[in-house]
Amino acid sequence: MRIVIVGNSTAAVGAIEGIRLFDQKSEIIVIANEEAHTYSRPLISYLLEGKTDLQRMKYRPDDFYERHNVTALLGQTVTAVDAGAHELTLAAGGKVPYDKLVWAAGSRPFIPPVQGLDSAPYYTFQSLADAEKLASALSPDSRVLIIGAGLIGLKCAEGIAGRCARITIADIAPRILPSILDEEGAALVQAHAEKHGIRFHLGNAVQSVDGNTARLADGTALDYDILVVASGVKPNLEPLTAIGAKAGRGILTDANGLTSLPDIYAAGDVAESLDITDGLSRILAILPGAYQQGKAAGKAIAGFPVPFDEAMPVNSLGLFGLHMGTAGVAKGESTVTQTDADYRRFFFADGKLVGFILIGDLHRAGIYTALVRAKIPLDTVQFDPQKPALAAFAPAARQKMINGENA
């Protein structure tokens, strides 16, 4: 059997490792338009910050392809899929036949319709190549304008803060990190970033750029030397939707990663998953989910399907030394505790913990994530919003958790 994987990042690695758990024989071919050995995409900001390097940011060791008996065709773009003939078309010409296909093509930057952007030079922050281009354009006196106060814009700001004179971030949204933080939490993190010199214009869309000046909705004119567009991402799904794959914003799959097309699987940021915390299908766009979806697809292809049925948003990130961790949904009944260094908000529904936002202290926070994931009724545990502990669980449940099913 020949398995072709399009993509060479998290979901692809998950698929390779999932396949090789059970199947050492099938041929595996990885095709990716990026040239690099598989690397950790989130580390591009740490690279610019000097906290990692090209060697250490490799997502898997140098001998990964060899050890997993994978042929890597890097620097090759797939332009079309023929589901009937079971073959791919490469931009460089040529076809690649497959028996099973894993579409793990991730996403690309979304470029908002800002007037003047089509003729103004700008940078994006989505790949190693993007990071390297941006780094070589920066100088100690660069004034940088970043469009987008989401995860990517903020991580970019952190990464380059030591390499330029000034960073301004503008976003149409009224607060930073709107997809993971609530208003209070966002204000706290924003104040922290401001202490590190980042300036914000929120609730204020960039309406046009012209030469080295951006105009915001409220009339403000901002001069800049370098423009970075970080306004979200778009899934690389067109080659599959072009042949009729069912899709919402992302490709739809079952819990084994199988799409609506025969022998074609999809995983990672290109695919939706069923968020168990609110029952909605969506692109989660987090690295752990991409790995788990990829691995599930790999296991299914190898003939040992283990459905991935626990997808949920879990985000952990540090920004200028301040850590935050969030999981599940951020709506409904909630409790908040706040001290100088610490913000903790928990969301409840039907007597269960359904989500949380922690800023500051993340000590043992995975215990909260587990309560959300396993939907444990809170009347069976002693939930403590300050101190997560396994002591919260009833002795029998705890014994089973710690020592395993046979305890």
Ligand X SMILES: Cc1cc2nc3c(=O)[nH]c(=O)nc-3n(C[C@H](O)[C@H](O)[C@H](O)COP(=O)(O)OP(=O)(O)OC[C@H]3O[C@@H](n4cnc5c(N)ncnc54)[C@H](O)[C@@H]3O)c2cc1C
CB of 18 to another protein, least distance (A): 10
Which one among 3, 4, 5, 43 touches another protein, defined by CB under 8 A? 43
In angstroms, give the least distance from the CB of 8 to ligand X: 4
The phi and psi torsions of 169 (rounded to 5 degrees) equal -120, 130
Cα 25 to Cα 323: distance, rounded to the nearest angstrom: 44
Q: Which residues bind ligand X (CB under 6 A)?
A: 6-12, 31-34, 41-42, 44-45, 77-78, 104-107, 125-126, 151-152, 155, 236, 268-269, 285-288, 290, 317
User: In the bound complex, what is the minimum distance in angstroms from residue 77's beta carbon to ligand X?
Assistant: 4
In angstroms, what is the minimal distance from the CB of 29 to another protein? 22
Residue among 282 and 398 whose Cβ is closer to ligand X: 282
Cα(331)–Cα(337) distance, rounded to whole angstroms? Answer: 16
Beta-bridge partners for 265: 102, 258
CA 278 – CA 177 distance, rounded (Å): 20
Q: What is the dihedral of CA 46, 47, 48, 51, to 10 degrees?
A: 60
Least separation in angstroms between residue 284's CB and another protein is: 12
Q: Cα–Cα distance between 239 and 130 in angstroms, integer?
A: 23
Look at the block and give the residue holding tokens 């994530």: 369
Give the C-alpha separation, 36 to 406, whole Å.
Answer: 45
Closest to another protein by CB, 187 vs 362, is 362
Query: Using the rule CB under 8 A, is 406 a contact of another protein?
Result: yes
CA angle 268, 270, 265 (to 5 degrees): 70
Using rule CB under 8 A, residue 405 touches another protein: yes
Q: Closest approach of Cβ 231 to ligand X, in Å? A: 12
Closest to another protein by CB, 96 vs 176, is 176
DSSP 350-361: TTEEEEEEEES-
Unique residue bearing structure tokens 């587990």: 370
Q: Which is nearer to another protein, 116 or 360 (CB)?
A: 360
> For residues 119 and 403, which CB has a smaller minimum distance to another protein in the complex?
403
Is the distance from CB of 333 to CB of 354 less than 8 angstroms?
no
What's the closest the beta carbon of residue 317 comes to ligand X, in angstroms? 5
Least distance CB 124 / another protein (angstroms): 20
Binding status of residue 386 toward another protein by CB under 8 A: no
**Range 118-123, long-range pairs (CB < 8 A, 24+ positions):** 120/209, 120/210, 120/211, 120/227, 121/227, 122/209, 122/227, 122/228, 122/229, 123/226, 123/227, 123/228, 123/229
383 is a contact residue toward another protein (CB under 8 A):
no
List binders of another protein among 300-319 (CB under 8 A): 314-318
Q: Is 60 in the site for another protein (CB under 8 A)?
A: yes
Dist CA 179 CA 284 (whole Å):
11
Count of residues touching another protein (by CB under 8 A): 52
Q: Does 389 interact with another protein (rule: CB under 8 A)?
A: yes
**Length of the chain, in residues:** 407
Contacting positions for another protein (CB under 8 A):
14, 40, 42-43, 46, 51-52, 56-60, 287-288, 291-292, 295, 314-318, 323, 325, 327, 362-367, 369-371, 373-374, 376, 388-391, 395, 398-407
